[in-house]
Structure 1
Amino acid sequence: MHRVLHGVHEHLELFSTNDSATRADWEKWRTGKAVPRDYEKESSPSTRDGNVEVIYTVAVLEVGPLSEADSNMTVTVEYSMAWVDNRLAELTSHVTPVSSTLLWVPPVAFGKTVRRVAHIKDDKKDNSTINLWLQRQGIMFYKLTRKLELICPPSLEEYPFDDHKCSIELHGYGGVVFPFRQPSKYYKAKPIQVDMTAVTSQYEMTGLKLSSRVAPFNQHIATDCVMFEANCTYPANDCPLMKGCSDESDECYGCKHFMGTCSYMSAADQCSNTSSGMSTLEIQLSFSRRRWSHVFHTFVPSVVIVGCSWISFWLHPRDVTARVQLCVTAILALITMAGNRKEHGITVVRAEDVWMCGGVLIVTFALFETVTVNSILSGNFFMPSFCKRRRPRVEPTPGPSTAWADDEETTETPSPETADKIDFFSRILFPITFTVFVAGFFLHYLG
């Protein structure tokens, strides 16, 4: 059956309703004249075990951006399904378009992560209203293309170093099961492929997981039985740069039908009584946020701003106005950069917020250092004994005693050398402290 299905798939790529014979067949099936009188659309094809095996391939045609405000993401998915309906065998001599409204198709429904479903028409061909075909041996080929609006709540605690996963579930009813068919020399169709040129999200796709399982309606009997899993990893590539390319080049074709490196696991023999449960075909998309824009728009500018605030340590301690203005400007610039989080309605503490807070604290301490140095020079700052300069003690000469003589002997004056020492050590300690903070930050969020 797999070899026949592969031939049907190749034939459909060349299908066009411009052929007069094909148009005549389509009119017969569309009006119901070619449908057998005893055919019942509500009844599924008869099988020995009551299961209708639906062979399939899945193509992710487009991935839109993820809204961090309402957790919505748009994904366009095409399910290509095939099954055998013996009731329609020998009714045609070639692949013929038939009406999906008059014949049995697998009863399926999307899972709860799908918020809205929109039908997609194929603008490349004239058969935009045809999505079901019949082969001579009774093999049905069905295409289901939908634009889905998904609910994918992102976890922003590690923003912009966050990874994300989004699932699409397709439930099958009435004995429909989705068995696993690993690609072989007879059945070359891959179970999953992605048009990497149509991934326009702020995330890049790093992998995909395709799984099929059967869950009994009575949850007290058993748990879900996994029939198969296919795990695909997507290495870094130049496909996002191929937007708008033509299928004529091999590189463009490979990006539009990207499959990655896949590993397969099948356990269909361990699942029993699949006809009395609900089968689920799940696609789990794995994303990693594109970080280079954040590096150049957030991290590099903030490092430059913090570094510029250290110029105050090289100015003369008495240039208070210039030193204060430099630190205050740096603080305001960092606060302005961190203020864009309110535009998205984000309330969680993100990694980016921790980064900005660390930068603001470093610059604030630099401002306190300027205030400290200026207070020392003006004599209004409480200084420890080792930072004070005492006048040499001189023995008093005989003479009349005065009340202010002893105070004059112990007078302590601030030294400009103390302020210079504080500036000198600040030039070393502040860069070291900020370097330790940066190293700990990236080790925590990227380690």
Structure 2
Amino acid sequence: MTATIQYTMVWVDNRLSELTSHVTPVSSTLLWVPPLAFGTTVRRVTYIADDRKDNSTINMWLQRQGFMFYKLTRKLELICPPSLEKFPFDDYECSIELHGYGGVVFPLRQPSKSYEAGPVEVDMTAVTSQFVMTGLKLSSRVTPLNKHTGCELFGANCTFPTNDCPLMKGCSEESDECYWCKHLVGTCSYMSATDQCSNTSSGLATLEVQLSFSRRRWSHVYRTFVPSVVIVGCSWISFWLHPSDITARVQLCITVLLGLITTAGNRKEHGVTVVRAEDVWMCGGVIIVTLALFETVVVNSILRGNLSFCKSRGTRVEPIQGPSTAWAEDEEKEETSSASNETTASRVDFFSRILFPIGFTVFVAGFLLYYI
């Protein structure tokens, strides 16, 4: 991610007082600049409109009392890898830190009628990303060198409704709506504690800008979650087929299972080693469909008499003189056993029609509560 920042440094050097009678532009290569350093998230800094290479560009001015004004514009390349455990329901934050040493402080103040804050502009017309910016936090603090915690001088918490401009990419500058989207500024709440902080002239001063992002989720809902729910629901059709239709039921479950595995495989991203929320969702769907396939096998085994939950004891019949009717009795017993097995198999299917949707609903509810 890239970010362009512009800030002005002001400091006093008594050695430079009375050298000029008015504001005089000077080159930054001729005078010292207070030491500053960016945080670890900044991997590269590009100088924009700086006089390091071209002396014709002046961005430093000297006043009579020795006040120095130094205006800088920097383009930063940031590395803020998001955590993918909750993908695609993940939110993440990226911080830009500017550290000052040797008595440098960042005395920010709350906007008022006489002082207007410089806006933090979010140009949504030039952004194509899976994330949308949702907020910004600004803080200025000083940490003494011999302590781990510092004093916060200023804090601001802003919300950005950047999603209100989803279709403004490449819009015309003449449009009022396009201008509003290019100069979008959030609603901020401020906290100032400058008077409560002491010994701010020494230690490590930090100016932190924290950007909050949220992933755009509706595309994942329509491409991943809704199709997988439909696929899992199709496996429950087998419960409404007759237990003797083993071929149709097995083919249906296997087809649904392969379709779900294919959908999960197409969503796999190379280089991702963590278990994501999407992976847990697909694994749950595969387990539900696999259980439906096992239910089909159990029902068919019950129907064929290979699996019975209760076996009735045969009553002993004394031999009776007369013509033999054993073939009729065996046939009657087979018919009775077959009817009993079919009834048991139908009951298993009946309860499966109720328990499988309930179980999947519980899984979905637990998944949403944990990850959202």
Shorter-chain TM range is: 0.7 to 0.9
- Aligned counterparts of 1:88 and 1:414: Cα–Cα separation in 2: 109
419-428 vs 279-288, which moves further: 419-428
1:122-133 to 2 correspondences below 5 Å: 130=57, 132=59
- Structure 1's 269 and 192: CA in aligned 2 closer, same or farther, altered over 3 A? farther
User: Is 1:383 aligned to 2:308, yes or no?
Assistant: yes
Percent identical residues: 64
Q: Would you say the 8 A contact 1:389–1:413 is kept in 2?
A: no
Match for 1:80: what amino acid? Y
How much has 1:270 moved relative to structure 2? 2.2
User: Is 1:189 aligned to 2:113, yes or no?
Assistant: no
Q: 1:292 matched to which residue of 2?
A: 218
Q: 1:75 matched to which residue of 2?
A: 2
Q: Tell me, which stretches of 5 or more residues in structure 2 are unaligned?
A: none
1:229-244 to 2 correspondences below 5 Å: 229-235=155-161, 237-244=163-170
2:297 to 371, 377, 381: 371
1:56-75 to 2 correspondences below 5 Å: 74-75=1-2
1:44-443 to 2 correspondences below 5 Å: 74-83=1-10, 87=16, 98-120=26-48, 130=57, 132=59, 134=61, 140-150=69-79, 152-190=80-118, 192-219=120-147, 223-235=149-161, 237-340=163-266, 343-380=269-306, 382-385=307-310, 396=318, 398-399=320-321, 413-415=337-339, 416-443=342-369
- Structure 1's 88 and 383: CA in aligned 2 closer, same or farther, altered over 3 A? farther
188-197 vs 324-333, which moves further: 188-197
Q: Could you list the per-position Cα deviations for residues 274-310 of structure 1 after superposition, in whole angstroms to 9, with x for gaps in the alignment? A: 2221211111111111111110111001001101111
- Structure 1's 344 and 357: CA in aligned 2 closer, same or farther, altered over 3 A? same
SS of match in other structure, 1:147? strand
Q: 1:16 matched to which residue of 2?
A: none
Match for 1:262: what amino acid? C
Q: Would you say the 8 A contact 1:211–1:228 is kept in 2?
A: yes
- Aligned counterparts of 2:213 and 2:55: Cα–Cα separation in 1: 32
- Structure 1's 389 and 431: CA in aligned 2 closer, same or farther, altered over 3 A? farther
Q: Would you say the 8 A contact 2:49–2:73 is kept in 1?
A: no
Aligned residues: 359
352-361 vs 106-115, which moves further: 106-115
- Structure 1's 76 and 121: CA in aligned 2 closer, same or farther, altered over 3 A? farther
Q: Tell me, which stretches of 5 or more residues in structure 1 are unaligned?
A: 1-73
Please, what TM-score do these two structures have when normalized by structure 2?
A: 0.83
How much has 1:85 moved relative to structure 2? 5.5
- Aligned counterparts of 1:128 and 1:236: Cα–Cα separation in 2: 39
- Aligned counterparts of 1:433 and 1:284: Cα–Cα separation in 2: 41
How much has 1:419 moved relative to structure 2? 2.6
- Aligned counterparts of 2:369 and 2:304: Cα–Cα separation in 1: 43
Q: Would you say the 8 A contact 2:25–2:62 is kept in 1?
A: no
How much has 1:76 moved relative to structure 2? 1.3
- Structure 1's 290 and 389: CA in aligned 2 closer, same or farther, altered over 3 A? farther
Match for 2:4: what amino acid? V
Match for 2:71: what amino acid? Y
Q: Would you say the 8 A contact 1:165–1:287 is kept in 2?
A: yes
Match for 2:93: what amino acid? K
Please, what TM-score do these two structures have when normalized by structure 1?
A: 0.70
Taking only aligned residues, the RMSD between alpha carbons, in angstroms, comes to 3.4
How much has 1:191 moved relative to structure 2? 5.7
How much has 1:89 moved relative to structure 2? 8.1
How much has 1:445 moved relative to structure 2? 2.1
Q: Could you list the per-position Cα deviations for residues 118-153 of structure 1 after superposition, in whole angstroms to 9, with x for gaps in the alignment? A: 34569xxxx998471548776625132213232x24
How much has 1:231 moved relative to structure 2? 0.6
SS of match in other structure, 2:166? helix
Q: Could you list the per-position Cα deviations for residues 37-94 of structure 1 after superposition, in whole angstroms to 9, with x for gaps in the alignment? A: xxxxxxxxxxxxxxxxxxxxxxxxxxxxxxxxxxxxx121312214265748895978
